[in-house]
């Protein structure tokens, strides 16, 4: 198949390129494929589209493709071992290379068959790598183009061995488009029905047999200061939180982990501190001791979390967790008093937490356990740093009698005397912390948290840097608090006697204007659609199926026994509205009916008129001849002469009784055949003139 051929061939190629483009966008939306592979394959796909559209021609020598293929087969093991380091990533890169090679060189039916397979492999890879709503949208696009491709290919194959019409069948692209739309809609409706009847009882085998690359958005297991370059604020949703009851607190710190070791540049937890595995009982883990549960006096918060796989394997909590319910047999307690599940589900995690919120006053004696001496010394260690930092810490602590007051004084100093900024560093400073405190005096949350933790250790207050997310935006459409990658945050936890671990946030607010208005409203609806995707598509299992069936049955019972009179009342109100707006409704119905009755005929007349004008100007197309011939047949039918289905146009012209009319129709038929099947455009004005002549002739002998 070559570019530039008309009708069905071009439709076939464009629909196949649509399949490839849908698969490409679906994989690109997963965010895990190397940018170079996406750019090269996207450029090749765009070049082929322009080639098919006739903008320019692509002629890649076969020996180049052969050489590149041999080179990539040698490169594939290196990609698997050193670059991608996983089977799926390296294989997807291989599929993309094959797509580039075939897209640029495809010319035979065998080549186009391989392109169909490559498009399917792209979509299969996206189904494993992506959990975003965008995958569903590209899946629909892929289905549309697939139906169009196979329908057009079947028509093209069936036409082999017959005479090829130079201009193609009139309106074939439009009719195929309508057929594709109706076929796709039917498939989607049938699939949706089966989906909600048949629960998904197993995941794809590849998800279990092959390791998945962990992707982290915002939250990190290390904090490194002094890195040059701009800060990317990821807008992807990482957490959706629903609170129990009517509670809707704001400004909460969603803690993933805490880092205790500092080497002057980086905060981390050494591998020597192994995680503590804790076994759940039917998915429930009790975290607080009996003494804490009985004697803690303060508010509690119950919340459920839907966590995107982008957030990694850490569980995010607020306050002091007391109970955790999660579908896992083991939960690991990290050195920073965080929680994680080592088996990362590509569709994310769901868990419920019951937390104790920090009280504003000290707890009763004996409720807060003492910090062990080893842990206290461990959380006070400092590397050699600028001596001015110690002097600043002691100056800020003067005049305060308790650790809590000293910590608040340091927090206020950083919040009031420094500026929040995402402005990148031009080059890494020799001492990032000293540069922040005494030279630059502005930075992002990691600098503020690091500075406060070091200042606290200088005045003998155990401290650590907590990482996670801050706040989030409430979506009234779904009832969820939405936390995005851009909400990533670092703060400080300090050990205060009779209080335990207390949260301090020395980072001043970001004064940059926040987006709002129409864009914010659009984000709310987009998040609502994403929530539906997560809850009813990715998270749809047997439990949800039973819940759906129960709710449907409950609504049926309510309908049968309670809402009969409500339905009658709604009918009465609808009748009142119809009477009140009767003239408008009748006018609207009449206009719609008139459009349905007259519209098709009017459309055909306009098409014929435009075709006749093109013929008179010498700009006719072969398909215009068919439109004029159909116009002729309608004219003859009004005069009482109907063409039998099995009779050729020329034989039909001989059956007309009036000699003048028969001769004119015969001349019209000969001109029609020459234009329609012979491509003789110069006959177009004569064809239009003959039709005008026939309209004036009598058809009686």
* Residues 82 and 110 reside in one and the same domain: yes
At residue 512's C-alpha, the angle toward residues 511 and 515, to 5°, is 125
Q: Are residues 545 and 447 in the same domain?
A: no
How does DSSP classify residue 311?
A: B
Of 223, 9, 248, the closest CA to residue 109 belongs to 9
CB within 8 Å of 408: residues ≥ 6 apart: 504
Pick the last residue of a domain from 174, 208, 242: 208
Express each pLDDT in 18-51 by its tens digit: 888 988 888 887 776 778 888 888 888 888 888 8
Q: How confident is the model at residue 544 (pLDDT cuts 50, 70, 90)?
A: low
SS3 96: helix
Answer whether residue 97 is part of any domain.
Answer: yes
DSSP, collapsed to helix, strand or coil, labels residue 264 as: coil
Are 336 and 204 members of one domain? no
In a domain, 560, yes or no: no
Query: Other C-beta atoms within 10 Å of 426: how many?
Result: 8
The residue behind tokens 């699939």 is 191
Burial class from Cβ neighbours inside 10 Å (0-12, 13-18, 19+) for residue 218 reads buried
pLDDT at 353 over 70: yes
Per-residue pLDDT at 435: 93
Q: Domain boundary at 208, 231, 266, which? A: 208
Q: Within 13 Å, how many C-alpha atoms sit on residue 504's CB side?
A: 35
Is 164 in the same domain as 231?
no
> Between β-strands 237-243 and 300-307, what pairing exists: parallel, antiparallel or unpaired?
antiparallel
Per-residue pLDDT of 624-661, as tens digits, reads: 677 777 778 888 887 778 877 667 787 877 778 777 77
pLDDT band at 381 (very low <50, low <70, confident <90, very high): very high
- The DSSP 8-state label assigned to residue 204 in this structure reads -
Nearest to 99 by CA among 56, 43, 31, 32: 43
In a domain, 111, yes or no: yes
**Distances from the Cα of 464 to the Cαs of 259, 260, 327, 394, in angstroms?**
6, 5, 30, 19
Domain assignment present for 511: no
Distance CA 19, CA 4 (A): 20
pLDDT above 70 (res 347): no
Most confident segment among 179-188, 354-363, 504-513: 504-513
Q: How many domains does the chain have?
A: 4
Edge to edge, the sheet with strand 339-340 lists 276-279, 330-333, 339-340, 314-315
Task: Pull the structure tokens for residue 545.
Answer: 């199926």
| Residue 531 maps to a domain | yes
Same domain for 266 and 409: yes
Residue 417's pLDDT is 94
Of 130, 237, 312, the C-alpha closest to 485 is 237
Work out the pLDDT band at 168, boundaries 50, 70, 90: very low
10, 171, 163: which is closest to 611 by C-alpha?
171
Residue 15 lies in a domain: yes
239 near 306, Cβ under 8 Å? yes
Tell me the residue range of the domain where 649 lies: 587-696
What pLDDT is stored for residue 514 in this prediction? 56
From 65-74, 138-147, 681-690, the region with the lowest mean pLDDT? 681-690
Asked whether residue 106 carries a pLDDT value surpassing 60, the answer given is yes
Residue showing tokens 């074939």: 172
Sort residue 58 into left (φ over 0), alpha (ψ -120 to 50) or beta.
beta
Residue 166 is assigned to a structural domain of this protein: yes
Sign of CA dihedral 27, 28, 32, 37: positive
3-class SS at 663? Answer: helix
pLDDT mean over 478-485: 86
Same-domain check for residues 296 and 374? yes
Least confident of 204-218, 325-339, 623-637: 204-218
pLDDT band, very low/low/confident/very high, at 521 (cuts 50, 70, 90): low
Region 69-82 average pLDDT? 81
Residues in the chain: 701
Strands 442-443 and 419-420 turn out to be parallel
Q: What is the mean pLDDT of residues 111-120?
A: 85
- Residue 626 and residue 497 share a domain: no
* Residues 101, 34 within the same domain: yes
Residue of 421, 400, 422 whose CA lies nearest to 411: 400
Which of 546, 551, 548, 540 shows the shortest CA–CA distance to 201? 540
Q: Are residues 419 and 392 in the same domain?
A: yes
Secondary structure, 3-state, 164-181: CCCCCCCCHHHHHHHHHH
Q: Which of the pair, 12 or 1, is modelled with greater confidence? A: 12
Answer whether residue 128 is part of any domain.
yes
The whole-angstrom separation of Cα 332 and Cα 350 is: 16
Co-location of 99 and 121 in the same domain:
yes
User: Residue 360: what pLDDT?
Assistant: 62
What is residue 701's predicted lDDT score, i.e. its pLDDT? Answer: 54
pLDDT of 530 higher than 90: no
151 vs 156: CA distance, rounded Å:
9
My answer on whether 174 and 245 are in the same domain is no
Mean pLDDT score of the chain:
76
- What is the predicted pLDDT for the residue at 543? 53
Per-residue pLDDT of 236-267, as tens digits, reads 788 989 998 777 788 899 998 899 999 999 99
For helices 445-458 and 387-397, the axis angle rounded to 10 degrees is 70
Please check whether residues 288 and 315 belong to one and the same domain: yes
Assess whether pLDDT exceeds 80 at residue 329: yes
Residue 85 C-alpha from the chain's centroid: 25
pLDDT grade, residue 108 (50/70/90)? confident
């Amino acid at each position: 198949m070559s570019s530039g051929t008309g009708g069905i061939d071009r439709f076939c190629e464009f629909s196949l390129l649509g399949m490839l483009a849908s698969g490409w966008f679906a994989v690109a939306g997963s965010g895990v494929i190397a940018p170079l592979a996406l750019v090269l394959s996207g450029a090749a796909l765009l070049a082929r589209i322009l080639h098919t559209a006739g903008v320019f021609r692509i002629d890649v020598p076969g020996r180049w493709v052969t050489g590149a293929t041999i080179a990539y087969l040698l490169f594939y093991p290196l990609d698997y071992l050193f670059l991608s380091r996983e089977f799926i990533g390296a294989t997807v890169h291989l599929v993309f290379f094959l797509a580039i090679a075939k897209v640029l060189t495809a010319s035979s039916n065998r080549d186009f068959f391989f392109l169909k397979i490559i498009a399917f492999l792209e979509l299969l890879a996206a189904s494993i790598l992506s959990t975003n709503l965008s995958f569903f949208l590209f899946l629909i696009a892929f289905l549309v183009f697939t139906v169009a491709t196979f329908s057009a290919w079947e028509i093209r194959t069936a036409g082999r061995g017959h005479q090829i019409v130079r201009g193609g069948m009139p309106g074939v692209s439009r009719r195929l488009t309508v057929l594709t739309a109706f076929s796709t809609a039917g498939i989607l409706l049938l699939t949706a029905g089966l989906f909600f009847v048949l629960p998904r009882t197993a995941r794809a085998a590849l998800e279990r047999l092959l390791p998945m690359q962990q992707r982290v958005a915002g939250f990190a297991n290390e904090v490194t200061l002094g890195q040059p370059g701009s800060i990317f604020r990821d807008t992807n949703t990482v957490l959706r939180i629903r609170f129990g009851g009517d509670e809707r607190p704001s400004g909460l710190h969603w803690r993933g982990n805490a880092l205790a070791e500092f080497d002057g540049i980086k905060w981390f937890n050494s591998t020597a501190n192994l995680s503590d595995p804790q076994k759940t009982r039917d998915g429930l883990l009790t975290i607080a001791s009996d003494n804490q549960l009985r004697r803690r006096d303060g508010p509690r918060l119950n919340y459920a979390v839907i966590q995107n796989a982008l957030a990694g394997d850490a569980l995010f909590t607020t306050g002091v967790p007391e109970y955790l319910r999660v579908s896992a047999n083991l939960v690991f307690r990290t050195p920073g008093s965080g929680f994680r599940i080592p088996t990362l589900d590509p569709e994310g995690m769901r868990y419920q937490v019951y937390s104790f919120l920090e009280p504003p006053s000290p707890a009763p004696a004996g409720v807060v356990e003492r910090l062990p001496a080893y842990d206290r010394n461990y959380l006070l260690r400092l590397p050699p740093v600028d001596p001015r930092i110690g002097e600043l810490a002691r100056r800020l602590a003067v005049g305060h009698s308790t650790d809590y007051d000293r910590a608040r004084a340091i927090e206020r100093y950083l919040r009031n005397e420094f500026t929040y900024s995402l402005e990148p560093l031009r080059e890494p400073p020799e001492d990032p912390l000293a540069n922040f405190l005494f030279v630059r005096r502005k930075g992002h949350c990691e600098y503020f948290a690091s500075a406060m933790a070091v200042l606290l250790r200088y005045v003998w207050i155990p401290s650590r840097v907590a990482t996670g997310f801050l706040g989030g935006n409430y979506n009234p459409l779904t009832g969820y608090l939405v936390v995005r990658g851009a909400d990533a945050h670092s703060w400080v936890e300090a050990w205060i006697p009779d209080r335990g671990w207390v949260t301090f946030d020395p980072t001043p607010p970001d004064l940059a204007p926040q987006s709002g208005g129409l864009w914010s409203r659009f984000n709310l609806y987009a998040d609502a659609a994403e929530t539906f995707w997560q809850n009813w598509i990715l998270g749809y299992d047997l439990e949800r199926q039973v819940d759906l069936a129960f709710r449907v049955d409950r609504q049926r019972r309510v309908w049968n026994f309670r809402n009969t009179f409500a339905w009658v009342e709604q009918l009465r109100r609808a009748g009142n509205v119809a009477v009140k707006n009767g003239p408008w409704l009748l006018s609207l119905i009449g206009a719609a009916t008139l459009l349905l009755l007259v519209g098709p005929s009017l459309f055909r007349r306009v098409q014929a008129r435009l075709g006749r004008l093109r013929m008179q100007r010498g700009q006719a197309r072969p398909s215009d001849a068919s439109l004029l011939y159909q116009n002729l047949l309608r004219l003859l039918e009004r005069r009482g002469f109907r063409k039998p289905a099995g009779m050729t146009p020329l034989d039909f012209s001989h059956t007309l009784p009036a000699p003048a009319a028969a001769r004119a129709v015969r001349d019209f038929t000969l001109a029609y055949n020459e234009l329609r099947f012979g491509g003789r455009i110069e006959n177009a004005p004569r064809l239009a003139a003959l039709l005008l002549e026939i309209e004036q002739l009598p058809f009686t002998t």
